Amino acid sequence: MKLNISSRLRAAFELWILTTLGFALLRAVFYLLFYRHAESFSADETTFAFFLGLRFDMRVATVLILPILIFALPNKWHWRHSLARQKNWVLSYAILYSLLLLAYIADIGCYGYLQSRINVAIFQNLLNPAISLEMVHQTYNLYLWGPVYAALCFGLYQFFRLVIFGRAGRHARPDPIYKKATQAIQGLTLTLVTALGLYGSVSQYPLRWSQAFFTQNMFVAYLSMNPVHYLIDSLESRQQTYDIDKVKKYYPQLSKYLGVENTKDLNFRREVDQTPQFDRSVTAPNVVYIVMESMAAFKTGLFGNAADSSPELDKLANSNEGWLFRNYYTPTEGTARSLFCILTGIPDINAKSSSSRNPLIVNQNTLINGLEGYDKFYFIGGSANWGNIRGVYMNNVTGLQMYEGDSNLVGPRTDVWGLSDLDLFRATAKALSARDPKKPFFALVQSASFHRPYTIPEEHGSFQLKTLPPEELSRLGFHSLDEYNSFRMGDYSLGEFFRLIKDSEFFKNTIFIIHGDHGLPHDGAMNVGEGYKFYGLNRFHVPLVMYSPLIKEHKEYNFMMSEADVWPTVLGLTGFKYPNASLGRNVFAVPKDQPHYAFSYVYYSNPLQIMLYDQEFIAFGTEKKIEALYRYGGYKPINDQGSNLPEVTGEFYKVDLRDKYPDKFKEMSELLVGIFESSRYMLYHNPRLVNKTSP
């Protein structure tokens, strides 16, 4: 029995099948050409790479048939309407597929030359076309491959003329006429199938380029890519926005601030400053790095909010085994941006989207690799495909193993964010307790439940919901009862994690780092000062707690500290030597006569709003101009000694002080521009470093 389908759908389906098979064949060619020179890989990795590559191929093939599905729907645009119309369709698709073939040829040449798949950087060669053409001519036999390519293009033309838009006996008859109900069902089915092909996935997150980095073997990762898909992904990140002249201009100020001794060639590389403070008999302490979603400082009891908003965090910070860093700030808002900074030590200065989504800068150095010989884990209740975090972490952290609620982390799915924080911490505790306690490990745990819809899991242990009147919630800076209880639930989950692991053998040799990924709008919270509130520092201010049985005395630190400073500080405290190429410092190694600052920017403002601040002053402006110096007054209390400035009443935080303190303004404004411009530059110039470590 023949299927009575239209010529339009038949042509689209045939082209989709043949295109997908063609892409798969070209992937096999890529494999055969380059596998001999790749580092060793397993059969399972290869199989999954081909499977993942097939999904990328199917997406591209779906895009390529969209013109047929859409523009050939009206009869006057159908190729059967006239001979001229048929020629237009044949010629258009022949040109399109010839360009695709050229992209594949260029991709093979690019990989053979640079060991990288084709990306937007290849177009930079067009700036010097004569040199580029001469290089191609001298490298490849154009007298052979030119005619071969021309013959393949002609073959494509004949394919579309005779197969896809030809065969008049089968394609010339009118499309079948169906009842309206049948047409509606067919239209809905076609729309759903096409949408699925474009989405590329049946899970919560669409197919993304970062999924190719399921392995740290670069050949296998590149094998899974569709070069056309990857080229288009890279086009979205084609602009390198840094100003090299400004980077060079302010490099002396920034290199002095960072303690860089070799100041040639914009070199930020130096050894991590060593300030060992833990028990030296423990040569390789475990490190558990916990990132709490949206844990703004002003919402916690540590910073003057309700005592029951964060009792578990407060207990850890105030214990004899806890250190609290009161002036700790993230460079900007956004979880993906925060995790990128944690990894690289570079503020994620990317206005369009987070840098983790940019395939051109997936290669980054990270101080996490300073923990040589460690097992390394990443725990997340949802999927690491979110924000393309998988790509930058799997590609750069040596030996990293991902545990995800969407795949290999066991627990009930609570809402859109996957496992609740409670189930995430329970699963993490179970996984860490089951491993060999004699081998050191690093684990990053990323919570995510403190988001709308603020779901409390059905099974929530001994956690008790609380009810507060609206006016009290407003006074505490919570905009709803659901938000308040969700914040408390995240804190309870953190406490549950420590209750589950406190008797584990690994616990006594572990350093725990806990901080929020970013702050939040203050929502009128009573414990937020006016100047602090006016400049929105609540969006970046989060608690940082270091907790460990290796700590013997509770301490609180009031110097300014940035997210980029965490890893240099951790490695310095634990005695690990590793090349530091980031914009962070070991805060305990900063000379007493050197200042501590925090840098932040607002990624959604245009132009970008940037600021540098200490406990009292803030240099404030935009990427185009640093406007003024203000005394914002810091958080309450300002610092150990209090303000050394005379008391000022009224809106003192709006008074421009750059003329009153010109040296202070010059120092802070120049360093501010230097950090901003250098951050943009370093996103593209921070390749992985290899260096032997020695604790």
Q: Which residues pair with 626 in a beta bridge?
A: 621
Strand, helix or coil for residue 610:
strand
Encode pLDDT of 95-152 as tens digits: 999 999 999 988 888 787 667 788 765 665 555 566 566 656 656 666 777 888 899 9
The vertex-125 CA angle with 122 and 129, nearest 5°, equals 140
Encode pLDDT of 27-47 as tens digits: 999 999 998 888 788 999 999
Question: If residue 560 lies in a helix (H) or strand (E), which one and from where to where?
Answer: strand 555-562
- The Cα–Cα gap between 220 and 224 comes to 7
pLDDT (average), residues 451-480: 94
Average pLDDT over the chain, rounded to an integer: 87
Which amino acid, residue 431?
A
Residue whose token pair is 């803030």: 618
Q: Which distant-in-sequence residues (6+ apart) come within 8 Å of 338 by Cβ?
A: 291, 330, 332, 348, 517, 518, 563
**pLDDT reported for residue 200:** 81
CB 174 within 8 A of CB 5: no
* Joined tokens for residue 284: 């390789």
Query: In degrees rounded to 5, what are phi and psi of residue 473?
Result: -60, -45
* Joined tokens for residue 648: 């000022």
Greater pLDDT, 483 or 1: 483
Q: Which distant-in-sequence residues (6+ apart) come within 8 Å of 455 by Cβ?
A: 414, 415, 420, 449, 486
- Greatest Cα-to-Cα distance within the chain, rounded to the nearest angstrom: 93
Strand, helix or coil for residue 582:
coil
Encode pLDDT of 254-309 as tens digits: 999 999 987 778 889 999 999 988 876 778 999 999 999 999 999 999 999 998 99
Q: How confident is the model at residue 549 (pLDDT cuts 50, 70, 90)?
A: very high
CB 8 within 8 A of CB 73: yes
Interhelix angle 311-318/481-501, rounded to 10 degrees, is 50
- Of 556, 103, 518, residue with least CA distance to 318: 556
What pTM was computed for the model? 0.79
Domain 244-594 CATH assignment equals 3.40.720.10: yes
CB 608 within 8 A of CB 351: yes
**pLDDT reported for residue 619:** 97
Integer-rounded Cα radius of gyration of the chain = 29
- DSSP state letters, 341-403: HHHHSS----SSS-GGG-GGG-----GGGGSTT-EEEEEESS-TTGGGHHHHHHHHSTTEEEE
Question: If residue 661 lies in a helix (H) or strand (E), which one and from where to where?
Answer: none
**pLDDT reported for residue 130:** 64
Q: Which residues pair with 418 in a beta bridge?
A: 415
- The Cα–Cα gap between 78 and 68 comes to 9
Sort residue 628 into left (φ over 0), alpha (ψ -120 to 50) or beta: beta
DSSP code of residue 450: S
Neighbours of 33 (CB within 10 A): 12
- Of 517, 537, 562, 566, residue with least CA distance to 671: 562
CB 437 within 8 A of CB 504: yes
**pLDDT reported for residue 240:** 56
Q: How confident is the model at residue 672 (pLDDT cuts 50, 70, 90)?
A: very high
- Of 595, 671, 577, 588, residue with least CA distance to 629: 671
Question: If residue 404 lies in a helix (H) or strand (E), which one and from where to where?
Answer: strand 400-404
- DSSP state letters, 297-312: GGGSGGGTS-TTSSHH
Could you tell me the residue ranges of all domains in the chain? Answer: 7-235, 244-594
pLDDT (average), residues 457-473: 95
